[in-house]
A and B are shown apart, each in its own frame.
Chain A
């Protein structure tokens, strides 16, 4: 079970959280093309490596936040608030 460091509550066990899929997928305006809309709905990177993803502390503070997790190892590299840019990990990851 992962240990997730909620930016608002601190480290808690994974059972308190709900996974929210890939982060930084901007919802397009309603007048985009069909192709763009379908891409927004269904196309994801399926990253092998460091993935920016959303979590919700659903059995805690209820807040959504973003995390950088390496999908190969499950290790987290950063937790950050919704609306802030993906942290630059430099050459590390």
Chain B
């Protein structure tokens, strides 16, 4: 047997399988089945971490997921995970684990000097101390807080593991696999329900795994668990999930589970996810979350070697570990007597049981006395001694009036505490279930819930084992709609404990300097909580935030009830008048990887590729993300940077012709007898007079009067429009169309169909565009006379069906060739080959932006920000004056939307033609106005224009159209303000001669 504190013949670990791992660089020997905590305790080692604020030495308080102290980092590199509870981390050969919050070492820590400064670090310390002087914040306070804050360090390398997400449905979800959960799952499963049972531990059984006293149907509890688990596994309608925590209870019985699949394996299969999130929609939920033993609040209660009584029992029976040689038990509950008896039976010395109750009695107390254990009634623990390990404690008598007399010091290396048991209400409360205070038990219990949920067992205050089993069966049957369930007889058990204690233990003297911890993980003391109340905080939610009690990663599992009791005592109000803080998910911490699941890397977002993506890649294009689309930004030739490539592409379009994949344009077909009427109501423009074979620029406003989207609309037939939208606006416009059609105008007979993916768009733009295209379109006459600007023709191109728009977003003669996406590349190739002789040049989104800016064309979302009217962006001409109604009409008549000082779209030229403004720059009236000053406008688009051989910009300026020729200044972050002149936004070919060529 390895480990001086390992007890032969005890525990469920596999002593034939030794496991060696490293903790803080030292080799530790344990066995398969150990946790890091149990293996270290087996070596007599309680010190496992340092606390958050005071860097106090700390050891494990619990043996499970409620552990506040023994937080460790596990793994290396990208697999390093901080803040894991050593009490839950299962060891495997070669595991590397480290303690946290210590420098340079766990035994000697510089930060522990904070303890000496504890009187200077009271509740609300952060709020008070760092308020002044203001200038200290950035340089001194914030870096200091950042260094001190948090627990373990976050890993910096990418996480090499993968994580899964799984949706599941079931009739009955049972959260918790202790006695109540097992009974409920079996009852529901035998009734035929589809059942999912999850338990956060490696094995089901809960408290039964450490109960060596009770007998069920004559069987020891451990054997009964094995039998029930086997029965559950035989049922095909029951799914058993271990190492699986129910951490979030959402509306409508959607419960999230976090299943840890590989962390306990030395050599995990590479294809297995590390963790899996289950999103379970359950018809009914049974909560069998159990109860957590409460810590006691007394001076020095955080010393290593002081732990919950139930934890010592777990280490003894699960892991065969004696947590010390000589224990003191401090309790207000009978259950700790059973622990003392178990410890004594295992050969450990129990120096005394200090019972806070004046006259403890009953079979357990008598059994302890009979065993020769000294039982001290009406006794408190005044303080614990020791530093890196508890060495003794002063046990002092409590008089009938509550005063504490002089005590005696008892030496020990282990203090076991029990304040009674707090039902775990987290999941019930997350689902917004009500809580009610139970006077008899002195704890909160689950009340009414709007969900289809029921609690069973100790999480609803049912503690005696036979009652728990019956309660579980009843819950399982009720959830499954079953009639009869399994019946077991508990042939031996302890009566449930009575009593319990919450708050600060009675002590002698005021204890101004005493550090009695309420929240171990956040280093919140009883004094902090009292101080908060004295300073005027009354709501428990405010006390929580001010002191940070209950706000650590353990969510106050062990601390909330004590904090509540302290507030209650100071205020002199009953606990139920004060209430509990809201329980929030997750119940236990969940790794970010599990939340990300599959959504990382290439799978973070869908990638939309336009039809000519492969061609663009073959041409060496540089790409940019536009929403979900990946679009070719420019096509650099050897030696070109972006500016050079874009300038060349722009010049080619203006001189010859350019070809551009515009397929990402949103496209919607509006069809039906009332299509024209629908268009009239939807767009600000008038459509009735638009002839078949023609297209028109369309502008969409919201009913607020603000521009929402724009695009060219072609009339294919009297009852059919081919609508285009911006790339980013496609889904929104279709949704808005559906909204008005379905909810405002159900009288209209119109069908809306997204055709974005069906029609690819090849933009062919430039003075030679017609010459390139004419021979390709299978006899269609596209001459200037036959097909003027804003004409639309249907035809074929090399036999491929085509909708040909003569439109331009460049200001040049241009076409947008719409062909089915499946044949787009073939058509593109034909155009490309035909254009070769002319010098046809591919261009990307960057040149497209420059070319449109040279023409002063609006981009919705760049010039507009959701508060611009058509008039603001120079599109009043598009707004029908005669239509009785359209979306936005009424709002556009509001005075505020016609105020003369509204931001208006203008062109902007810098004095220095080489200087390109930053988009987003503010424009102010004077170069040297004192700060703060208010802006007259801002720059929305800014480029270097190859056509003008100078910089150009578009801006939105208050009353801008009336300020042409005047100057403003653009303050710069890294130089003097830039003087600019306001001009017409159409910089190039203002007459539009080229467009109509």
Interface residues of A (CB under 8 A from B): 1-3, 13, 18, 20, 27-32, 34, 37-38, 40-41, 54, 56, 58, 62-64, 73-75, 82-83
Contact B281 A13 (CB under 8 A): yes
> Least Cβ distance of A42 to chain B in Å?
8
> Least Cβ distance of B893 to chain A in Å?
8
20 A–B pairs (Cβ distance < 8 Å), ordered by A: A1-B250, A2-B252, A3-B253, A13-B281, A18-B735, A20-B739, A28-B890, A30-B890, A37-B890, A37-B894, A38-B894, A41-B703, A41-B891, A54-B743, A56-B738, A62-B738, A64-B742, A73-B432, A82-B742, A83-B743
B559 within 8 A of A: no
Please indicate which of the listed interface residues B167, B746, B890 has the most CB atoms of chain A within 10 Å of its own CB.
B890
Contact A73 B738 (CB under 8 A): no
Besides A30-B889, A37-B891, A58-B735, 11 other A-B contacts (C-beta < 8 A): A1-B252, A1-B254, A3-B253, A30-B884, A54-B743, A62-B738, A63-B742, A64-B739, A64-B742, A73-B450, A82-B743
* Nearest CB in chain A to that of B449: its residue: A73
Residues of A within 8 A of B271 (CB): none
B605 within 8 A of A: no
What 0/1 pattern do residues 248 to 284 of B give for CB contact below 8 A with A? 0011111000000000000000000000000101000
B214 within 8 A of A: no
Residues of B within 8 A of A40 (CB): 703
Contact B703 A27 (CB under 8 A): yes
B704 within 8 A of A: yes
CB within 8 Å of A: which of B688-711? 703-704
Cα(A92)–Cα(B281), bound, Å: 26
B744 within 8 A of A: yes
Question: Given the known A-B contacts A37-B894, A41-B704, are A56 and B279 also in contact in the complex, defined by CB atoms under 8 Å?
Answer: no
Contact B251 A2 (CB under 8 A): yes
Cα(A73)–Cα(B434), bound, Å: 11
What 0/1 pattern do residues 499 to 543 of B give for CB contact below 8 A with A? 000000000000000000000000000000000000000000000
Residues of A within 8 A of B735 (CB): 18, 56, 58
Question: Given the known A-B contacts A56-B735, A56-B738, are A1 and B744 also in contact in the complex, defined by CB atoms under 8 Å?
Answer: no
* Nearest CB in chain B to that of A41: its residue: B704
B640 within 8 A of A: no
> Least Cβ distance of A40 to chain B in Å?
8
> Least Cβ distance of A14 to chain B in Å?
8
Residues of B within 8 A of A32 (CB): 890
Residues of A within 8 A of B778 (CB): none
Residues of A within 8 A of B167 (CB): 13
Residues of A within 8 A of B250 (CB): 1
B625 within 8 A of A: no
Cα(A38)–Cα(B743), bound, Å: 20
* Nearest CB in chain A to that of B745: its residue: A27
B885 within 8 A of A: yes
Cα(A32)–Cα(B894), bound, Å: 11
> Which of B252, B450, B743, B890 contacts A3, CB < 8 Å?
B252
> Which of B279, B281, B744, B884 contacts A27, CB < 8 Å?
B744
Cα(A74)–Cα(B254), bound, Å: 12
State the majority secondary structure of interface residues on B: mixed
Residues of A within 8 A of B281 (CB): 3, 13
* Nearest CB in chain A to that of B752: its residue: A62
Cα(A74)–Cα(B450), bound, Å: 9
Across chains A and B, which 8 residue pairs bring their CB atoms closest together, nearest first? A74-B251, A3-B252, A30-B885, A73-B450, A64-B742, A30-B890, A37-B890, A1-B254
Residues of B within 8 A of A37 (CB): 890-891, 894
Contact A3 B746 (CB under 8 A): no
Contact B703 A82 (CB under 8 A): no
Cα(A38)–Cα(B703), bound, Å: 10
Residues of B within 8 A of A58 (CB): 735
> Least Cβ distance of B705 to chain A in Å?
9
Contact B891 A1 (CB under 8 A): no
Cα(A21)–Cα(B80), bound, Å: 44
Contact B252 A74 (CB under 8 A): yes
Question: Given the known A-B contacts A30-B884, A37-B891, A73-B450, are A3 and B742 also in contact in the complex, defined by CB atoms under 8 Å?
Answer: no
Residues of B within 8 A of A1 (CB): 250-252, 254, 279
* Nearest CB in chain B to that of A26: its residue: B744
* Nearest CB in chain B to that of A31: its residue: B890
Cα(A58)–Cα(B252), bound, Å: 20
> Least Cβ distance of A2 to chain B in Å?
5
Residues of B within 8 A of A28 (CB): 890
* Nearest CB in chain A to that of B888: its residue: A30
* Nearest CB in chain B to that of A1: its residue: B254
Contact B252 A64 (CB under 8 A): no
Cα(A54)–Cα(B167), bound, Å: 26
Contact B704 A29 (CB under 8 A): no
What 0/1 pattern do residues 886 to 902 of B give for CB contact below 8 A with A? 00011100110000000
* Nearest CB in chain B to that of A38: its residue: B894
Residues of B within 8 A of A64 (CB): 738-739, 742-743
* Nearest CB in chain A to that of B254: its residue: A1
Cα(A15)–Cα(B749), bound, Å: 29
> Least Cβ distance of A20 to chain B in Å?
7
Residues of A within 8 A of B738 (CB): 56, 62, 64
Residues of B within 8 A of A30 (CB): 884-885, 889-890
What 0/1 pattern do residues 732 to 767 of B give for CB contact below 8 A with A? 000100110011101000000000000000000000
Cα(A20)–Cα(B252), bound, Å: 20
Cα(A13)–Cα(B432), bound, Å: 20
> Least Cβ distance of A24 to chain B in Å?
10
Cα(A56)–Cα(B704), bound, Å: 21
Residues of A within 8 A of B746 (CB): 82-83
